[in-house]
Chains A and B, each alone.
Chain A
């Protein structure tokens, strides 16, 4: 039987939606018994949220002032001290999980699996490589612990309605002080979060300037959508880094993705392949984005986008 520990991602007060998707992956393994661990300074609010998620057997809390900010080198030894009771340890494949899970795996003396996109039994997985151009099937050894990150775009969050017990656990490990949190600048935005938005409007280099991105924001606001961008638009400093979608940016799966002035490099396409419907607006009819778009329109974005925004009333 698979006994799976899922590492909760949170900001100290709210559970990140990535956790419910990571649990969904774990729950796809037959006979999975899933615990969630919340490592925090004060875990109460986050643990209460995690306890509501279906498929969760128990929520464990590890409270320590050192856990106020998620530093991998601080969290990892605590996770390792709990891992002995589990056959699998899962985290989300985003900057939180990618930073943390290899550290956990190395301390446990095992390899780590990145970006699980599907499970085929308890030790067989598929994951994308080469920017999603190739899917590889993996067989992990049955006699050692599986440490993995889950490609959250491949999973729908598990439902709520559960009331799993919350148990406080204490771990007795020495925590390093060689790594210190200094600060965080969150990009302040009232728009939906790119990674969880059901609709995303994204712009590329063809926008031509940061000012012209206002066209993207106006359409996004009309649709209640999150805003994304291609690497080219980010490199040109039209938009902040955290809007980048693709192999080295965010992997997203909105119901609707509208790509505007984005040619569709393979590295970008890997970030949107799980989107429900892809709409592409581009002046170049040969742009690769049209090969994957469900609805395509060739034309001048500076005419089309305002017209579309207007028409949406």
Chain B
């Protein structure tokens, strides 16, 4: 195929313990380390491996967000993507709008395959890939743990609750990456330098015309109800006694 499109979302880093703002209006992100959503990094790694094996000519990364998302796109370029697109907007759009914007990018770029992370670790929605596939009228293969491409079809091993499922999809298609699809490469310093020269195009969200979607309003944010620390026991007989007390054994 000619081209693979990969979505990269800028999210609060995996290792940051997020806090709710004191007024409950959102999550504290000032001064917090931001990274590529880990599942998107896996998606990009897979696209790069397909290209390196001769299965594609170009890998294009796309993000939707503020100009700060350039950082994550540059990291994607340093990993090996050829080109980056940033759909710029002030506030993160809702998922349906993101899917519509991605569809506009898909129509423009005509990729043979779109790979996205299965979910973003900030909102934990796990929706964008499925919505894009539905709007595009193309196959979806979510939670992918292995991808094999032969001609115009992809065979995808999916992680499902009962075990592993294999499906076959005609290309172009949308695939969402699960944890065990691959282990993303580390970025090397010379690649970071090279990435600075690679093309990064900004497109204003308004210019893509995604239309309005019925908005779900976030009315409040709060920390979860914490579980309380319980008792510590010294030996197995005390452990058994504690379990018996609760009627559990």
Residues on A lying within 8 angstroms of B by beta carbon are 11, 71-73, 76, 94-96, 98-107, 109-115, 124, 128-141, 143-144, 176, 178-187, 195, 199, 223, 231, 234-235, 240-242, 247-248, 250, 255-256, 266, 273, 277-279, 290-298, 304, 307-308, 311-312
- Known A111-B214, A223-B249, A297-B232: A137·B219 in contact at CB below 8 Å: yes
Inter-chain pairs besides A144-B214, A242-B162, A294-B246, 4 sampled, C-beta below 8 Å:
A106-B130, A186-B162, A248-B179, A308-B240
B92 at the binding interface (Cβ < 8 Å)? no
List, in ascending order, chain A residues with CB within 8 A of B240's CB: 308, 311-312
Nearest CB in chain A: distance from B30 CB, A: 16
The answer to whether the Cβ of B2 comes within 8 Å of any Cβ in the partner chain is no
Contact A111 B236 (CB under 8 A): no
14 residue pairs of the A-B complex, CB under 8 angstroms, read A94-B161, A102-B95, A111-B95, A112-B95, A112-B96, A113-B216, A179-B167, A182-B167, A242-B163, A291-B227, A292-B227, A294-B227, A297-B233, A308-B239
B169 touches A179 (CB 8 A): yes
Query: B150-170, CB under 8 A of A: which get 1 and which 0?
Result: 000001001111111111111
Interface string of B95-119 (1 = CB under 8 A from A): 1100100000000000000000011
Q: When the two chains form their complex, are residues B161 and A99 in contact, meaning their CB atoms are under 8 A apart?
A: no
Cβ contact within 8 Å between B168 and A111: no
In contact, B163 and A130 (Cβ under 8 angstroms): no
Any chain A CB within 8 A of the CB of B122?
Answer: yes
In the complex, what residues of B have CB within 8 A of residue A296's CB? 230-233
- Known contacts: A103-B131, A290-B229. The answer to whether A95 contacts B27 by CB under 8 A is no
Tell me, in angstroms, the Cα distance from A183 to B155 when the chains sit together: 11
A21 to B67, CA, bound (A): 42
Of residues 199 through 218 on chain B, the ones whose CB sits less than 8 Å from some CB of chain A are 213-218
Question: A129: which of B123, B168, B179 is its contact (CB, 8 Å)?
Answer: B123
Residue of A nearest to B141 (CB): A179
Q: Is the CB of B18 within 8 A of A130?
A: yes
B121 close to A114 (CB less than 8 A)? no
Q: Is B193 an interface residue (CB 8 A)?
A: no
Contact B139 A140 (CB under 8 A): no
Contacts of B190 on A, CB cut-off 8 Å?
none
B163 touches A240 (CB 8 A): yes
Q: Could you tell me if A96 and B161 are in contact, using CB atoms closer than 8 angstroms? A: yes
Within 8 Å by CB of B131, from A105, A113, A134, A176, lies: A105
B168 adjacent to A141 (CB under 8 Å)? no
4 tightest CB-CB pairs across the interface, nearest first? A294-B230, A102-B130, A106-B134, A102-B127
Judging by beta carbons under 8 Å apart, are A293 and B229 in contact? yes
| Closest residue on chain B to residue A104 by CB atoms | B134
Q: How far is the CB of B25 from chain A (nearest CB, A)?
A: 11
In the bound assembly, the distance between CA atoms of A115 and B123 in angstroms comes to 11
Contact A110 B96 (CB under 8 A): yes
* Range, interface on chain B: 35 or more
A107 to chain B, nearest CB (A): 5
B23 CB–A CB distance under 8 Å: no
Chain A residues whose C-beta falls within 8 Å of the C-beta of B17 in the assembled complex? 133, 266
Q: Is the interface of B mostly helix, strand, loop or mixed?
A: mixed
- Give the residue name and chain of the A residue nearest to B118 (CB): A248
**B27–A187 CB distance below 8 A:** no
* Cβ-defined contact, A277 with B246, below 8 A: yes
On whether A111 and B94 interact (CB within 8 A), knowing A95-B161, A136-B220, A184-B163, the answer reads: yes
* Known contacts A111-B95, A134-B224, A311-B237; A298 and B139 CB within 8 A of each other: no
Chain B contacts for A114, CB-based, 8 A: 124-127
Chain B nearest CB, measured from A29 CB (Å): 16
Is B145 in contact with A241, judged by CB distance below 8 angstroms? Answer: yes
Chain A residues with CB under 8 A of B165 = 181, 183-185
Asked if B54 is at the interface (CB within 8 A of a chain A CB), the reply is no
Residues of B within 8 A of A312 (CB): 240, 249
Would you call A99 and B143 a contact (CB within 8 A)?
yes
Find the residue from A95, A277, A290 having the highest chain B CB count within 10 A: A95
Quick check: is B135 within 8 A (CB to CB) of the other chain? Answer: yes
Hey, what's the 0/1 contact readout for B35-69 against A, CB within 8 Å counting as 1? 00001000000000000000000000000000000
A104 to B162, CA, bound (A): 23
The smallest C-beta distance from A11 to any residue of chain B, in angstroms, reads 8
Contact B224 A102 (CB under 8 A): no
Residues of B within 8 A of A223 (CB): 249
Task: Say how far A271's CB is from chain B's closest CB, in angstroms.
Answer: 12
| One of B125, B138, B249 near A178 (C-beta < 8 A) | B138
Docked-complex contact B131 and A102, CB < 8 angstroms: yes
Residue in contact with A128 in the complex, picked from B94, B159, B224, CB distance below 8 Å: B224
Question: Is B243 within 8 A of A135, CB to CB?
Answer: no
Do the beta carbons of A95 and B124 come within 8 Å of each other?
A: no
Question: Hey, which chain A residues are within 8 Å of B231, CB to CB?
Answer: 294-296
Give chain B residues whose Cβ lies under 8 Å from the Cβ of A124.
219
Q: How far is the CA of A130 from the CA of B155 in the complex (A)?
A: 32
What is the CA–CA distance of A235 and B183 in the complex, to the nearest angstrom? 11
* Cα-based distance from A162 to B80 in the complex (angstroms): 58
Chain A CB within 8 A of B191 CB: no
Q: Is B140 an interface residue (CB 8 A)?
A: yes
